[in-house]
Amino acid sequence: MEKLLIKGGKPLHGKVKVSGAKNAVLPIIIAALLAKTPSTFDDVPLLEDVRAISEVLKCLGVKVDDSVSHTLVVDSSNITDCEPPYELVSAMRASFLVLGPLLARKGKARISMPGGCAIGARPIDIHLKAFEALGVKIEQGHGYIVATAPNGIKGATVYFDFPSVGATEHVMMLASLAEGKTVLENVAQEPEIVDLANYLNKMGAKVRGAGTPVIKIEGVSELHGAEYTIIPDRIEAGTYMIAAAMTGGDVLIENVLPEHQKPLTAKLREAGAVVEEDVDRIHVVGSGKLKAVDIKTLPYPGFPTDMQAQMMAMLVVAEGNSKVTETVFENRFMHVNELIRMGAKITTEGRSASIEGPAQLTGCFVRCTDLRAGAAMILAGLVAEGQTEIGDLHHIDRGYENIVEKLTGLGADIERIENENV
Ligand code: EPU
């Protein structure tokens, strides 16, 4: 087991380059299953989740070549298995999205039901309801889902009860190879949905309206591989924006799309940080004294749930009382207790947290309870008095490429060491 050691109190300065987006690359690699010829992806982040999804695909007979750094070649010409192994699927929820592409290519797929996770129950009812509307027969039992399409996959109009990111991606993939037209209403509008739609269209699909609440898909009989570059990771970029603001630093964030950061940019400015946008760069200067702000997580273009924990770490040291409301996941406050151990003054009631600031955080041993909670611990460590030790780093490795190197490059005192005690 390893841990991070952070000595807090250093304002961050310099430039940092953002990697490709985890939540874009995962569904896109899975969508490569739909094609009979290979796809090549560029700006693929070096992350544990990317490695895990590659393993899932390999078990299905897909050839995955990662010999060139940040490039991935996925060749699904020969799918030999329609049932990804339980151990791999249970380790990463996004792998559930292979169900649709496998069904579209092979006419049948079997997958273990994804369970809940640290941040919530995370059901799959929206995925399954939409699949059934497209003519898919779903059988559930003994922890597995078996999907078949005895009469083919047929286009349909489907209204989503909630704009689920994963369900929007999953049904977009399936409908691309369906017979006829599909209309998806009240869908997710996240930039990652647009990225997937762009890749599908490069493969020969006919997807229109991605990034709006209604997506229309004209099914085609076959898709081919394509070359595609993944968009920058807006959550990684946002984490560095907060790091700059919180430490009273001055950081230029490169390879970022400022329009994707709008909800965060608005809140950082409201809190008193200076945020300047360029075409593909954002410059953040911390004023030294941040003010309390309220945030409420919502589907895009609302404030992202994936930035909630990091924002809370910042609000703990901001002047005044803030309120954080989490509306997307029912249990995404696992970082609260860890922050309290560092000296934060936070009380929670249901899906809301009240923060009394500013608190002087003091370093201690804390754990990453999920990926973004882990990022929040690092941010808190950067401003805490003394040394913060962070354990359970596997969560961070899922979604932040080279975070220690990137923060060190900005002047942080952070190192990763073997930990015999955890
Ligand atoms: N939901 C349902 N039924 C469904 C699907 C979702 O009730 O059939 C609920 C979930 O339980 C949750 C809410 O809808 O409460 C949102 O879930 P959604 O399906 O939108 O999320 P997801 O596709 O499972 C992706 C990201 C998450 C991110 C969410 C929300 C990937 C691989 N994961 O998850 O990323 O938080 O969208 O933006 O794209 C992270 O990166 O840390 C992370 C958790």
pLDDT at 116: 64
Rounded Cα gap, residues 196 and 24, in angstroms: 7
Distance of CA 385 from the midpoint of ligand 1 (Å): 35
Q: Kindly give the distance from the C-alpha atom of residue 164 to the centroid of ligand 1, in angstroms, as a whole number.
A: 6
pTM comes to 0.97
**Does the C-beta of 400 come closer than 6 Å to ligand 1?**
no
For ligand 1, atom 13, the nearest C-alpha belongs to 328
Task: Report which protein residue has its CA nearest ligand 1's atom 18.
Answer: 164
Q: What's the confidence (pLDDT) of residue 302?
A: 98
Instruction: Using CB atoms within 10 Å of the CB of residue 343, give its burial: 0 to 12 exposed, 13 to 18 middle, 19+ buried.
Output: middle
The number of the ligand 1 atom at minimal distance from the alpha carbon of 162 is 14
pLDDT at 82: 85
Q: Are 214 and 168 in contact (CB under 8 A)?
A: no
Best of 23, 128, 370 to mutate for ligand 1, by most ligand atoms within 8 A of CB? 23
What residue has token string 């070549």? Answer: 65
Per the CB < 8 A criterion, the answer to whether 240 and 16 are in contact is yes
Selecting among 59, 117, 364, 368, the annotated active-site residue is 117
Note the pLDDT of residue 187.
Answer: 98
User: In this structure, are strands 206-208 and 157-159 parallel, antiparallel, or unpaired?
Assistant: unpaired
Task: Measure the CA–CA gap between 194 and 24, rounded to whole angstroms.
Answer: 9
Atom of ligand 1 nearest to the CA of 166: 23
Tell me the three state secondary structure of residue 155.
Answer: coil
For the question of residue 82 being annotated catalytic, the response is no
- CA-closest candidate to residue 32, choices 217, 228, 219: 228
Query: Residue 398: CB within 6 Å of ligand 1?
Result: no
Q: Is the CB of 308 under 6 A from ligand 1?
A: no
Element (H, E) at 141: strand 137-141
pLDDT (0 to 100) of residue 421: 60
Q: How high is the pLDDT of residue 220?
A: 98
Q: Which atom of ligand 1 is nearest to the CA of 329?
A: 15
Residue 305 alpha carbon, nearest atom of ligand 1: 36
Q: Is 389 in the pocket of ligand 1 (CB under 6 A)?
A: no
Instruction: Count other C-beta atoms under 10 Å from residue 313's C-beta.
Output: 30
pLDDT digits over 362-420, tens only? 999 999 999 999 999 999 999 999 999 999 999 999 999 999 999 999 999 999 998 76
**Which atom of ligand 1 lies at the shortest distance from residue 128's CA?**
8
Tell whether omega for the bond before 301 is within 30 degrees of 0, i.e. cis.
yes
Q: Give, for ligand 1, the residue of 30, 122, 126 to mutate: max count of ligand atoms closer than 8 Å to Cβ.
A: 122
Query: Which pLDDT does position 388 carry in this prediction?
Result: 98
Q: How far is the CA of 95 from the centre of ligand 1 (A)?
A: 13
Query: Is the Cβ atom of 164 under 6 angstroms away from ligand 1?
Result: yes
Residues of the chain with pLDDT under 70: 115-116, 420-422
For atom 19 of ligand 1, the residue with the nearest CA is: 164
